[in-house]
Chains A and B, each alone.
Chain A
């Protein structure tokens, strides 16, 4: 492993230096490849974030991570100043900017590393919000960082190079999550409807039901109980009109397994205007039904299967969305971006 590391390091160093040729940070401090524990950041070719402004800051995050991994305080300050400058341009980048400014002001590497934990959390959240258009990023986690509280960071490679301890504990941690472009996620998590012979009338009926589901979902995400209630009433009405006669026996069976449950949730959400938490309880169970139906019949449009692990005392809950951007219906504005896309449903 170490020999491999040694063999790979110079290569990575070269990639890094060329990739960040414009970054004066690398030229302003002496390289230290003589030290075998020193590592260069693997700027994986092809990582591109959808948000252009965030994408512009990303190389500086890589520089900062590398600097901390190498224990290079001066380089960390330079990278942090670049992040602070770029963060101002990013929507929702205030926390990132503030953390970067604090790293610039920090007087020792330990303080920088502590601040880096908060910066990474903010950066990871922004990356998830933006999504990738190409490449892959890994969320790494070291349980020992921050006095055993644990902390995360983002890397472009699967190999662990710990920025919280540097050479003291270079390989502490593991990859907790992989962030892939939605289209690549489609390669692994994309589903096509189970039934290929869905009658046009059936498809139209179900599309109307899904449309009302999305209205409920958007109402809840906007903390708009009345909007959700209207969607619930309209969904119950749309279900009354659903054409079951054109379904095959197999399709009828699957539909019936979900029909009475779904209708009850729709009516209940319709009746509970003003009690949004109760509407959300029903929405969690409703989403299971809608998920089953869309998976079997298709939704008439590209839909995203999202999952929030925190809802219902961390038991988690899913929902279906028409947008790739996560907008949490279970917490609304309290935690709008909690959750991730699990599947793309064509």
Chain B
């Protein structure tokens, strides 16, 4: 009985303890938009809205954090997701890519969306507003095709 109590207290202490280890939040200052994709291609408001809702949490320098992201270890898990996402594609740093890479990325974005590989199912399960309707998918793909020709 005594050992169980000790273990419970230890677990609680550890849970409280890890709350102090907060990963750095992915939030850029508003000014830092020099390399943003919107500087390279015209993005209609409707498209911008879809991108922000469905893509930017993992693929830009600005993540909208849900409440549970402030509780560890959920926050750590999310931070690693954002890190991988930004490595593969970062709309806020799009201007840093070579011309060729920009075009190729647009091409692959289209494929990811058409084949329902993105947005990730594990993400849209919780972030229901990131789910894309067929119409939104068509809008995105058309815009990407146009941008890719520039």
Query: Which residues of A are in contact with B by a Cβ distance under 8 Å?
Result: 256-261, 264, 281, 285, 288-289
Contact = CB atoms under 8 A, between A and B. Distances in A.
Contacts of A261: 97-98, 100-101, 104
23 contacts: A256-B98, A257-B98, A257-B99, A257-B100, A258-B98, A258-B100, A259-B98, A260-B97, A260-B98, A260-B101, A261-B97, A261-B98, A261-B100, A261-B101, A261-B104, A264-B101, A281-B108, A281-B111, A285-B104, A285-B107, A285-B108, A288-B100, A289-B100
A232 B108 CA distance: 18
A257 B98 CA distance: 6
A288 B103 CA distance: 12
Give the bracket for the number of chain B residues in contact with chain A. Answer: under 10
Contacts of B98: 256-261
Contacts of A259: 98
A260 B97 CA distance: 7
Contacts, number: 23
Interface secondary structure of B, over-half rule: helix
A256 B101 CA distance: 11
A52 B41 CA distance: 57
A319 to B, nearest CB: 16
Contacts of A264: 101
A114 to B, nearest CB: 40
Contacts of A288: 100
Contacts of B101: 260-261, 264
A264 B102 CA distance: 12
Nearest to B108: A281
A259 B101 CA distance: 9
Contacts of A285: 104, 107-108
Point out which of A259, A261, A281 has the most chain B C-beta atoms below 10 A from its C-beta. Answer: A261
Nearest to A268: B88
A267 to B, nearest CB: 9
A264 B90 CA distance: 13
A288 B97 CA distance: 16
Contacts of A257: 98-100
Contacts of A289: 100
Considering the complex of A and B, which 5 residue pairs feature the smallest CB-CB distances, nearest first? A261-B101, A285-B104, A261-B100, A260-B98, A260-B101
B99 to A, nearest CB: 7
